[in-house]
Copies of this chain bind each other. A is one copy, B any other.
Amino acid sequence: MKAMVAEEEGRGMQVARAQQGLRELILAGELPPGKRVSEPAMVERLGVSRTPVRLALERLAQEGLVAPGASGGFIVRAFTAADLADAIEVRGTLEGLAARLAAERRPTAGALGPLRDCVAALDRVVAQPVLSEADFDEYVRLNAFFHEELVRLAGSGVVARAVEQAAAQPFAGPSAFVQLHATEAAGRDTLVVAQEQHRRLLEAISRGEGARAEALAAEHARVAQRRLRAALSDRDKLTGLPGGSLLRLAAAWP
C-alpha cells in the first residue's frame, strides 16, 4: 500500500504530511488531551506508515503539542492558562532580545525598508473606521510579516531559531487569538494599540534605542496576554477555536 492518494513528491513529504495531519487532528480535538496517540490508528487515518508517524510525533513533542508518555508512546498535552501566559511571555522576552539586537546593529535605511513598508501597510489597514473579516486576515498576515522581519533584523540565526521555537508553542504565536477580535465591538481598538506599538518599535530600532526597543517588544507581546485573558473569560469564544479543547482551565484530568 503505497501512497494511494496524492503522490506529491518531496524529500520528507511523508513526515511532513503526518506532522500536519497530526497537528490538525490534535487541534481539532479529535485526540483528547491526556490520551496516548495510537500509532496504528494514525497510520490508518493518515495513510503513511509508522516510521513517519513516529518521527512526526517526535517533532510535535518538540513543538509542545504532545509529550513522551511515561511508558512509551506520546500523549496529547493539555495546557493551563498559566502555560499559555508563560509561553507568550517567553516569546515576548525573546522578541525583546531580537529588537534590542536589531537596534544595536543600527540597521541602514535600506535594511529597514521592508519593516517600514509593513508598518505603512498595517497603518492603511487599521486606519479604516470599520474592519471587515478580510481586514483582520490581512492584519494577521502583515503582523506575522512584521514579527518575522523584526527577528530577521536582529541578524542572528541563533536568536531567530529561539524566537521561532517560542512562537511555535501552541497559542503563543504573534497572531494567536487575533481572529477573536473580528467579532468584537472594541476589536479595532486593540489593533490600533498594537499598531502604535509597531510604529514605536520601528522608531526605536531605527534610532538605535536598544533598551527601548526591547521593552516595547516585550510589552507588545502583552497585548497577546490580554487577548488570552479575554478569551479565557469567555469559554464560548474558545469552543470551536482550533485547539480550544486542549485548554484545561482548572488542572487535573480524569
Contacts and interface: CB of A to CB of B under 8 A. Distances in A.
A158 B87 contact: yes
Interface residues of A, number: 30
Contacts of A86: 156-159
A47 to B, nearest CB: 21
Given A11-B71, A169-B158, A90 B82 contact: no
Oligomer copy total? 2
A128 B59 CA distance: 47
A90 B83 contact: no
The A contact surface, by secondary structure, is: helix
A157 B15 CA distance: 28
A93 B97 contact: yes
A55 interface: yes
A221 to B, nearest CB: 12
Interface string A28-64: 0000000000000000000000010011001100101
Given A55-B58, A62-B62, A90-B159, 20 more contacts: A11-B71, A11-B72, A58-B58, A58-B59, A82-B156, A86-B156, A86-B159, A87-B158, A89-B97, A89-B101, A90-B94, A90-B97, A90-B158, A90-B162, A93-B93, A93-B97, A94-B94, A158-B169, A162-B165, A162-B166
28 contacts: A11-B71, A11-B72, A54-B55, A55-B55, A55-B58, A58-B58, A62-B62, A64-B161, A82-B156, A83-B158, A86-B156, A86-B157, A86-B158, A86-B159, A89-B97, A89-B101, A89-B159, A90-B94, A90-B97, A90-B158, A93-B93, A93-B96, A93-B97, A94-B94, A158-B169, A162-B165, A162-B166, A165-B165
